[in-house]
Amino acid sequence: MKGILAAVAASLLASVCIASPVERATGPFLTPIGDQTWLIGNDVWSMTQGPTYGVKLMYKGRDCVGEAVGHYVSYNGAASNLNWTSASIIKNGTYKGVTFIDVLFTAAEGDMHWVIFEGQHGAYQYFVNHHLPTLGEFRTLWRLDNTTFPNGHTATKDEELPPLSEYLPQNKVQDETWLKPDGSGYITKYDWTSWTREQDYFGVYGDEVGSWYIHPGKDYYNGNHLKQELMVHRESSSGDAVQLNMIHGTHFQVSSSDVFPDGKMWGPWLWYLNDGSRTDAAARWEEELAEWPYAWLDDADYQARGRVSGKLVLSDGRPAANASVFLGDNNPTKTALDMGSTYYYTGYADEDGSFVFENVRPATYGLQAWSSGGKLADVSTTFLQNDVVVTAASGGSDDGETELGTLTWAVSPRKKLFQVGEFDRHSNGFLYGGAPWQHALVANCPADLVFRAGCSPVSDWCFGQTYKGNWTIRFKVKEEPAAAPRDPTLIVSLAGYSSGTSSTIYANGQVIGNLTSGAPGLASDPCLYRSATAAGEWRYFEFPVDTGLLKKGVNEVTFQVTRNTTWHGFMWDSIILEW
């Protein structure tokens, strides 16, 4: 809150530049100005909120929306915008000596809150569900003046948004994707994607004004560590600078169709205005992180928090060093990435396998863990423990502490004949794997490839396979296969898969399985054709290999793509043959 207190001192100077009626304001306000129309703001900024859209955002003497659409809340893409039927101040408060109001806008689906402090450059926002339908996408967003906000910023990308003049209809190649006029590459909004749970601050900015979203708490997001979402972009139909707040998204998933309980809260997050300085926005992120969970929010469920800790040890005695850990649905029926009805927590174990989740909402969770590569690169199994009960701290010495102790994670006891790539649910390490988001990168991967296990560097294997052709792994078996007590198993771990491409799998020329578009486990996620290079939705397959198919000496496993679709196919994580 240091940023709020410092802003009070600057508010007198800022208010000189802001148009009436904010010039006359002495603190945060909500003023009805017509039928289903209100003016909200404080002594620094103001916005005119209509039944759907917030427009005329006055800050630093200018209208930051201009001819753009403004602020709105919607679900299932742009199909359903929320319509506000009433507005009221539900709380007048003071926090650390600074006054604030909580303004509630009501809609049939739920309540949108704007918490506005005196002197604050922006406002806190949160949404409480009451009647949202089963859905995949839910978002708030600003569509702002394209001349005031020419640049975009995420944790992984910072540059000028493409000019609208380059979006030529004759060059459109697919959904929100165009060939550049000079033919040098592509323009697509999906290049502005970033990892949701690693995000600090993101937004659009110019030389004089910046508009940012800061989410210090992320437990209301759907998905796990692999969750990635579109953050900012240029609106192709109008040129608006878009600051997109995907608080429940599906842009890179197979599906996320969730039912939300009454009272599910997204937020609060901070919508922050400044002079366009990224350094200032970064500093504000640190301040907000230190303040979360926010003490000013008078909500018992929000304030109730517990703590979960434990230690993961593999069944072979190794500590689960740097493993990904996740608190999600109890007795899960969905993948960790597809979960989204309630609240979710992500983290990583330390070098000795110890992990801690702080500020967890009370509930019963399922704890999952999986390899993040490194010292666990060969671990193909997933840990799951259900019935992790979290209670809220109430002042006692052990209140709110869920100590799980040492947990044993069973790993495969079998011997590996070869492994291509670290098992980490990402394409990292392969050629182009983990490159910045960019469209059509998979087109640079070859149609045919030969990889010599134990000799070829991992980077010889490309991150994605899309063309018709054969990708072959050659490997040596040093002992007679007949001596093996059990048949080998080929493990195929995919970091993602986009439908329309099918593969037949061979061992020494004999079919041992297939990866067929539309088959169980191979529903499409949009990773490869929407600019992702590291992950989409993780898939895991096991194919038995008859021992009689192998021989002492050099053997081959081949993935033969027999049907393909442009920019669609397989994004690799790891391939393991073990017995």
Q: Which of 376, 409, 442 is the last residue of a domain?
A: 409
| DSSP secondary structure letter of residue 196 | G
Residue 190 tokens, joined: 């999906």
Reported for 86-94, long-range contacts at CB under 8 A and 24+ positions apart, including other chains, are 87/30, 87/32, 87/38, 87/40, 87/49, 88/30, 89/30, 91/298, 93/296, 93/298
Q: Which of 271, 303, 335 is the last residue of a domain?
A: 303
Which residues partner with 559 through β-bridges?
471, 505
pLDDT at position 280 is 98
Same domain, 420 and 499: yes
| DSSP secondary structure letter of residue 478 | -
Number of domains in the chain: 3
Mean pLDDT of 408-417: 95
CB 27 within 8 A of CB 117: no
pLDDT at position 124 is 98
| Sequence-separated (6 or more) residues with CB below 8 Å from residue 24 | none
CB 459 within 8 A of CB 431: yes
Greatest alpha-carbon span in the chain: 88
pLDDT digits (tens, 9 = 90+) for 80-101: 999 999 999 999 999 999 999 9
Using alpha carbons, select from 166, 161, 235 the residue that is nearest to residue 202: 161
Mean pLDDT of 416-443: 98
pTM: 0.93
Same domain, 270 and 312: no
Nearest-10 Cα torsion for 221, 227, 232, 237:
-100
Using alpha carbons, select from 428, 484, 479 the residue that is nearest to residue 458: 428
Mean pLDDT of 261-276: 98
Same domain, 329 and 451: no
Q: Rounded to whole angstroms, how far apart are CA atoms 400 and 386?
A: 18
Residue 248 tokens, joined: 């429940």
**In the structure, what pLDDT confidence band is assigned to residue 485 with cuts at 50, 70 and 90?**
low
More confident site: 313 or 400: 313
Same domain, 405 and 450: no
* Residue 302: how many other CB atoms lie within 10 Å: 17
CB 200 within 8 A of CB 155: yes
CB 146 within 8 A of CB 240: yes
CB 557 within 8 A of CB 463: no
Same domain, 321 and 338: yes
Phi, psi of 174 (to 5 degrees): -170, -170
Which of 260-269, 351-360, 388-397, 527-536 is the least confident region?
A: 388-397
Same domain, 310 and 217: no
pLDDT at position 396 is 55
Which residues partner with 372 through β-bridges?
none
CATH number of residue 336's parent domain: 2.60.40.10
**Mean pLDDT of the chain, nearest integer:** 94
Using alpha carbons, select from 465, 460, 562, 450 the residue that is nearest to residue 511: 562
Which residues partner with 370 through β-bridges?
324
Mean pLDDT of 555-564: 97
Handedness of CA 357, 361, 366, 371 (dihedral sign): negative
The number of C-alpha atoms within 13 Å of 568 and in the hemisphere containing its C-beta is 20
Angstrom distances, CA of residue 185 to CA of 191, 192, 464: 12, 15, 19
Handedness of CA 436, 439, 442, 445 (dihedral sign): negative
Q: Rounded to whole angstroms, how far apart are CA atoms 288 and 275?
A: 18
pLDDT digits (tens, 9 = 90+) for 430-441: 999 999 999 999
Mean pLDDT of 244-273: 95
Query: Burial code of 167-200, b = ≥16 C-beta within 10 A, e = fewer?
Result: beeeeeeeebbbbeeeeeebbbbbbbbbbbbebb
Q: Apex CA 547: angle with CA 543 and CA 551, to 5°?
A: 120
* Residue 444: how many other CB atoms lie within 10 Å: 13
CATH number of residue 518's parent domain: 2.60.120.260
Same domain, 240 and 355: no
Angstrom distances, CA of residue 134 to CA of 29, 192, 261, 340: 34, 27, 10, 11
Q: Which residue segment(s) compose the domain that 482 sits in? A: 416-578
Using alpha carbons, select from 274, 219, 60 the residue that is nearest to residue 282: 274
Which residues partner with 447 through β-bridges?
none
Residue 364 tokens, joined: 């019963």
Q: Is the pLDDT of residue 452 over 70?
A: yes
Q: Which of 246, 275, 303 is the last residue of a domain?
A: 303
Task: Detail the DSSP E strand segments found in 19-119.
Answer: 29-34, 37-41, 45-49, 54-59, 62-63, 70-75, 80-81, 86-95, 98-106, 110-117
Same domain, 361 and 423: no
Q: Rounded to whole angstroms, how far apart are CA atoms 74 and 145?
A: 20
pLDDT at position 487 is 86
Same domain, 492 and 513: yes
* Angle formed by the axes of helices 278-291 and 2-16, nearest 10°: 140
Same domain, 270 and 194: yes
How big is the chain, counted in residues?
Answer: 579
CATH number of residue 127's parent domain: 2.70.98.10
Mean pLDDT of 185-194: 97
Same domain, 293 and 169: yes
**In the structure, what pLDDT confidence band is assigned to residue 256 with cuts at 50, 70 and 90?**
confident
Handedness of CA 131, 133, 137, 142 (dihedral sign): negative
373: left (phi over 0), alpha (psi -120 to 50) or beta: left
Q: Is the pLDDT of residue 23 over 70?
A: no
More confident site: 393 or 45: 45
pLDDT at position 68 is 98
Same domain, 283 and 321: no
